[in-house]
Amino acid sequence: MCLSFKNPSKTFASQLCFLRRAESLIFALGLHTRMASDDPTKLHPAVLIGLSDDDPTAVSRKQDHIELAFKSRVESAELDGRFYYEPLLSPHPPPGSQPPFPFLGKELRAPLWVSSMTGGTALANVINHNLARACAEFGFGMGLGSCRQLLYGNEFLADFDVRNTIGPDLPLYANLGVAQIEQLLEKKESGRIPELLQKLRADGLIVHVNPLQEAMQPEGDIFKRPPVEVIQELLQTLDIKIIVKEVGQGFGPESLRALMQLPIEAIEFAAAGGTNFAKLELLRSDPVKQLIFEKIAAVGHSAVEMLGFVNALKTELGDRCRVRHLIISGGIRDFLDGYFLLSKSSLPAVYGQASGFLKYARGEYADLRSFVEAQVRGLELAQAFLRVK
């Protein structure tokens, strides 16, 4: 091949073509290893000839390509086998191109959900308000942590009172354990629940079901009735919107069968793979109890397994399926996990990343914003270029 190292053209296209040919020849001839500086990572001067002033980053970019080439290999064992990669079928999606969609009676701009986290601690105010601010900016909903402390007083109200921050147009749900609801119903104090929703200006109530957490917790409550009976009575007693969730071990198929036939707004998985509150409480207990019960804290169902249960039950139940939405959470590491699970769901769904959000919500909002922005952008790219197998 005959190749001149003089600038062959003033046009960008021909210069770029020339650069690529020159670089290929340099590697073929081994010139990149024979340089005055004896530094094999530096570009040979011949490669730099012909670069256009219209591309001021070309030199540093090509330098990066050489330095990082051998670090950038992806072995076949590392490939994500859940997707087909289709690079020809879409342009780059503009940032913020997610179309709005209805969920829980409101309109979201991203299929994310802030899963219930915290309240009543020193950091709770910062965490909850940072999370609500992210919801407002990027357009997704939020479930508060347990609001038990607000049933009989307002000492910690500021930690949970985020409606002004999240705004009126996105879903915001309060949260109580099924044990507290059982106690309120038994005491004929169920009226405290709508009072709670009113003071928080919440759209509804998340009921968290956590028998193993309560059993492992040193201060845990004892369920006197099956949780499904308590939820049924709550639905009959109060006209409020209800979401039911677990706390880190998910639901088996028979529990899901029972829930899907109730007129609830959504089921949140809180599947195994994320924070496991039974294990968390066990770690707070004495060493003997930890040794005895560590294996039962390790049972549960993954989000993938639970989604398979739900899809099969929806087909089986037909018109008897009354649940309207899913919040897929528990072990969701990133936007690829979320995209995969959303694509597989037979019900309208969003996904939650409690640990990821919590990690960045404890400090400056800018850190959380960068994290959420990257997750949303990743989801846009996945939707454009990936197809689920």
Domain ranges for the chain, please list them: 12-71, 101-388
The confidence score (pLDDT) of residue 42 equals 53
The confidence score (pLDDT) of residue 275 equals 80
Closest CA to 196 of 210, 177, 168: 177
| Residue 348 to residue 325: CA distance in whole angstroms | 5
Asked if 112 and 161 touch (Cβ cutoff 8 Å), the reply is no
Tens of pLDDT, residue by residue, the chain (389 residues): 444 444 444 444 555 554 455 455 445 444 444 444 455 445 555 455 445 567 777 667 667 776 776 677 778 888 999 999 999 999 999 999 999 999 999 999 999 999 887 766 778 999 999 999 999 999 999 999 999 999 999 999 999 999 999 999 999 999 999 999 999 999 999 999 999 999 999 999 999 999 998 988 888 899 999 999 999 999 999 999 999 999 999 999 999 999 999 999 999 999 998 888 888 888 898 888 888 888 888 899 999 999 999 999 999 999 999 999 999 999 999 999 999 999 999 999 999 988 889 999 999 999 999 999 999 999 999 999 999 99
pTM: 0.82
Angle between helices 365-385 and 124-138 (to 10 degrees): 40
By DSSP bridging, strand 106-108 and strand 101-103 are: antiparallel
Domain covering 101-388 in this structure, CATH number:
3.20.20.70
Closest CA to 26 of 12, 6, 5: 5
| Residue 250 to residue 255: CA distance in whole angstroms | 10
- The sign of the dihedral angle between the CA atoms of 15, 20, 23, 28 is negative
The contacts found for 237-240 with CB under 8 angstroms, 24 or more apart, are 237/185, 237/190, 238/190, 238/193, 238/194, 240/193, 240/194, 240/197, 240/204, 240/205
| Residue 115 to residue 145: CA distance in whole angstroms | 8
pLDDT digits (tens, 9 = 90+) for 153-197: 999 999 999 999 999 999 999 999 999 999 999 999 999 999 999
Residue type, 309: F
CB neighbour list of residue 9: distance below 8 Å, 6 or more residues apart: 15, 18
CB neighbour list of residue 278: distance below 8 Å, 6 or more residues apart: 210, 212, 213, 215, 216, 247, 248, 249, 296, 297
Burial (CB < 10 A; 0-12, 13-18, 19+), residue 68, is exposed
| Residue 288 to residue 285: CA distance in whole angstroms | 8
